[in-house]
Amino acid sequence: MKLHFYKYHGTGNDFILIDNRDLQMGNLKAKQIKYLCDRNFGIGADGLMLLNKHKEFDFEMDYYNSDGSGGTMCGNGGRCIVAFAKKLGVIQDKTQFVASDGLHEAFINESGEVRLKMIDVEKIEQKQDHYFIDTGSPHHIVFDDKIAELNVFEQGKTIRYSQEYNKEGTNVNFVQVKDEGIEIRTYERGVENETLACGTGAVASAISYYDKYKPDSQNIRVKVLGGELQVSFVESENKYSDVFLTGPAKFVFEGQIEI
């Protein structure tokens, strides 16, 4: 069977997108997803998304990790699927859609950047040497003064598979404070490697930074390996609402592949 696909990236976090409004791809198997995301034998991507119809909202986002496992929320993926929906003519410059963690809304500005509303964050766990925050996906956050020197793959993998997180595991973010905001590197669960960006990780890192250092602004610049994101929110009594992730969502190419 030939599959028509589209490739997008958000600050280097790349995804395969499939228009599944006709439900043709409803039964993709884990091994097929793993093959499609393979960078040597397939298309190559950090994840795969199906754009499905929804009765009440513009569409449904069905996300899978590159290892074939079902994913939790993906912030950069969410921004890319919004840009994809516009390309298909499903939406114009604003949308409401459903993902694994519930309802989201998003806006596309004149430069093509996507501003995606994330879930509210009401629980922040501050441990002895790290934070843990769920922003639609679980994130372990460590502050470090020299993240460029870290072996993110080895250290991230150790934490991801540690006894603290059991079988479910976690994403791991290493955060360095900069004058203009923060810089992060992320080991992603499901990709099982460092990625060039992680949207939910950017949100979790920005919130932990605000909680720890109390900067003047609630609009945080987040530098990732693949570019730059903006995270904004409203904080009240350690609860974070109106959380938005803003950044580019770029179409790369489209094509067909035999599966």
- Per-residue pLDDT of 56-93, as tens digits, reads 999 999 999 999 998 789 999 999 999 999 999 999 99
Terminal-to-terminal C-alpha distance of the chain: 6
What separation in angstroms does the CA of 40 have from each of 45, 53, 68, 69?
10, 32, 16, 19
The single residue of 43, 98, 118, 198 carrying the catalytic annotation is 198
Res. 238 pLDDT band, cuts 50 70 90? confident
Three-class SS state of 140: strand
Domains defined along the chain, listed by start: 2-118+248-258 (3.10.310.10), 124-246 (3.10.310.10)
Verdict on whether the full-model pTM lies above 0.85: yes
- Per-residue pLDDT of 191-235, as tens digits, reads 999 999 999 999 999 999 999 999 999 999 999 999 999 999 999
- Per-residue pLDDT of 36-62, as tens digits, reads 999 999 999 999 999 999 999 999 999
- For residues 180-189, average pLDDT: 96
Query: Quick one: which H or E segment has residue 15?
Result: strand 13-19
Q: With 90 as the cut, is the pLDDT of residue 22 above it?
A: no
The single residue of 50, 74, 222, 245 carrying the catalytic annotation is 74
Please give the single-letter amino acid code of residue 149: E
Kindly state the DSSP code that residue 149 receives in the 8-state scheme. G
Nearest to 61 by CA among 43, 76, 46: 76
Residue 29: burial class (beta carbons within 10 Å; 0-12, 13-18, 19+):
exposed
Is-catalytic flag, 37? no
- For residues 130-153, average pLDDT: 97
- For residues 155-168, average pLDDT: 94
What pLDDT is stored for residue 1 in this prediction?
81
Res. 26 pLDDT band, cuts 50 70 90? low
What pLDDT is stored for residue 18 in this prediction?
96
Is-catalytic flag, 198? yes
